[in-house]
Chains A and B, each alone.
Chain A
Amino acid sequence: MVPTEAYVALSGVLFSIGAVGVLTRRSAIMIFLSVELMLNAANLALVAYAYHWAGTGALTGISGQTAVFIILSVAAAEVAIGLGILVAIFRNRASTDVNALAEVRL
């Protein structure tokens, strides 16, 4: 049996890859994808912990799994808004490179 720590460690690695992506990528879409990776890392950790707590006989094992679905829907709402803003900007200047956002310093 794979111990819970292994799953959590994997989620930590995924989360770090996502965070590095946010800080280093230049395309707004790639930054956005990196954020999604971070969210899914959190989901993986939640599922792993839910399995762990269910294994100890705690009733709250199921609430961790439910939380994953809530976070998935939150992420979907964020995608809808984010892509809307991106499309509006792309229409004005045909680029999603954040370095081209001259008037704001990211």
Chain B
Amino acid sequence: MTVPEGFIVWSVLAPALILFGFALLTLLLAVFQQDRGFLAGVALTGIAGAAVFAFHLLMEAQHGVAESGFGLRYLADAHASALTLVILLGTALAVLVGQGTLERMRLDHPEYFPLLLLSATGGVVMVSAGDLITLLLGLEILSLPVYVLAAWRSDLRQSQEAGLKYFLLGAFASALFIYGIALTYGAGGHFDYANLMAAFSASGFEANLVALLGGAFLLAGLGFKVALAPFHQWAPDVYTGAPTPVTTFMSVVVKTAAFGALLRIAATVFASLEPGVFGGLLPGVLVVLVGATLIVGNLGALLQPGVKRMLSYSAVAHAGYLGLAVLAAGDRGMAAAGFYLAAYTLMNAGVFAALTQVMDDDDRGDGIDRFAGLARSRPWLAAAMAVCLLSLAGIPPFAGFIGKVLVIQGAFGTGHGFLAALAILMSIVAVVYYARVVVAMYFREPSGAVRTQPSRSRPVGAAIAIAVIGTIVLGIAPGLWYTLLDRGQNLLVFVAAR
């Protein structure tokens, strides 16, 4: 395989550069202009600008002329551009939710917007990375702002502890990931995926054990970020402890970025390892992790009394379903995961946005009693929440159902029938805990002891509306988005006879 020279291609870098520029701009403007609405507007402008370029790159990929920069080290193919759009969508929803709730939560610091944009920049770099060092930089740019955001509420122990815990485990995961990079470099002699694939698939490649160890460390490092069991333990505590607008961002954008990177590595570097004893081990490990994640996430969610903590476990469970797509990464898995991540971003951000309207100002009070009778006092909010929850549960005609069908199909297609059956079984379990909230909203009398939350906010309403409409549209006409993913050109995907 010949690798082109490493030229800088500005159009490929445009989405990340625009986000970064607007992050600096909002930071600067925050010094002079304390008006939150104005800063949110600037942030949304930056996101829209980046989205225009990402959409252009996605269209290029449709016509089979996917671009790349730095000699295949920074890719802008269908996978990267589509996930960039998903990240931008998640960030925009988090900006709206933050704009609508931060003042009420007494967290009215303008740094929220630049930190979100910086983190999203890292996410965009991660999904576009075609090189392990690029990926590492993206991972750190993504993570560092989120550590700060998670620990943001300085008056609440829970939030600070969540921040510290996320930071310590995140740093540990980064160390595992970096050691994985070192070993992979030792085995293949390169950092970029194209040359690594050439080295690993060359005849007479000897360093299988080192490459396998490197792959295992890379998998563990990214497994932490996406919360695959047994690396998921931080997730429920951090998601619950962080301020809810931040949880909205973390649960969708961080997951999209880390899965984007994992899918790419699985489809390129891992896939080029020699099949048989060594190449077969890594998928085997992944099968165990995904199975464990499905069980732990869903059964964990079943046992939680608080709705926010239940949703945190549900985020772990969804990492399991996405893991099915990683197993099929070389096949249809990348497209399936791209669809699932878009649907997940819409429905999960929607449900967390709705949650901010029900919980107290200090991020407490997420008991299921809060939701009793919500359909009568806030009918629109209850309906939106019900749509998002049913979509998360995978009930047609919502987007979550199509997403689940696609990933389970992918798992069947690559011969993981047992895991697919487990996923189906677990999504039946999932219906129980999602439906519990819906039933409370529609069929239970409001208990007099709990005061209803009077807060209404227009930006949060807009975020919920976007999420609900998106969930319904993607559920009814999934082809609108899936065709772009499925027909678009992906660079580097390893297609040797396996």
A interface residues (Cβ-Cβ under 8 A, vs B): 8, 11, 15, 18-19, 22, 28, 31-32, 35, 38-39, 41-43, 45-46, 48-50, 52-53, 56, 58, 60, 63-64, 67, 70-71, 74, 77-78, 81-82, 84-86, 88-89, 92-93, 98, 101, 103-106
Contacts and interface: CB of A to CB of B under 8 A. Distances in A.
A32 to B, nearest CB: 7
B182 A46 contact: yes
B147 A85 contact: yes
Contact of A101 (B164, B171, B178, B233): B164
8 contacts: A38-B175, A43-B182, A45-B182, A49-B186, A63-B191, A71-B178, A74-B140, A74-B178
A32 B140 contact: no
B45 interface: no
Nearest to B171: A35
A88 B153 CA distance: 10
Interface in B164-213: 164-165, 167-168, 171-172, 174-176, 178-179, 181-183, 185-186, 189-191, 195
The 7 closest A-B pairs by CB, nearest first: A38-B175, A49-B186, A45-B182, A42-B179, A104-B237, A42-B178, A42-B182
Contacts of A15: 179
A78 B182 contact: no
Given A18-B175, A35-B175, A88-B154, A104 B182 contact: no
A57 to B, nearest CB: 11
Provide the main secondary structure of the chain B interface: helix
Interface centre among A39, A45, A81, A105 (most CB of B within 10 A): A81
Given A74-B140, A85-B163, A31 B168 contact: yes
Task: Classify the secondary structure of A's interface with B.
Answer: helix
B185 A49 contact: yes
B412 to A, nearest CB: 37
A48 to B, nearest CB: 8
Nearest to B195: A60
A60 B189 contact: yes
A70 B181 CA distance: 12
Nearest to A22: B172
Nearest to B163: A85
B128 interface: no
B179 A78 contact: no
Contact of B133 (A38, A67, A88, A89): A67
A35 B221 CA distance: 13
B168 A92 contact: no
A71 B136 contact: yes
Contact of A45 (B148, B175, B183, B190): B183
A50 to B, nearest CB: 8
A85 B164 contact: yes
Given A46-B182, A63-B191, A81 B133 contact: no
Contacts of A70: 133, 136-137
B148 A85 contact: yes
| Of listed B133, B151, B182, residue having the most chain A CB within 10 A | B182
Nearest to B145: A81
Interface string B215-258: 00000000000000000010001100100000000000000000
B165 A77 contact: no
B262 to A, nearest CB: 19
Given A77-B144, A103-B157, A104-B237, A82 B186 contact: no
B137 A28 contact: no
B232 to A, nearest CB: 13
B171 A32 contact: yes
A41 B186 CA distance: 14
Given A8-B186, A42-B182, A84-B148, A77 B175 contact: no
A53 B39 CA distance: 50
A52 B191 contact: no
B331 interface: no
B162 interface: yes
Contacts of B176: 38
B111 interface: no
B453 interface: no
A105 B238 CA distance: 10
A46 B161 contact: no
B189 A53 contact: yes
Contacts of A35: 168, 171-172, 174-175
A74 B177 CA distance: 13
A82 B185 contact: no
Contacts of B154: 88, 92
Contacts of B186: 8, 45, 48-49, 52
B241 A82 contact: no
A5 to B, nearest CB: 10
B364 to A, nearest CB: 12
Contact of A42 (B164, B181, B191): B181
B63 to A, nearest CB: 33
Nearest to A96: B164
Contacts of A58: 189
Interface string B383-413: 0000000000000000000000000000000
B160 interface: yes
Nearest to B182: A45
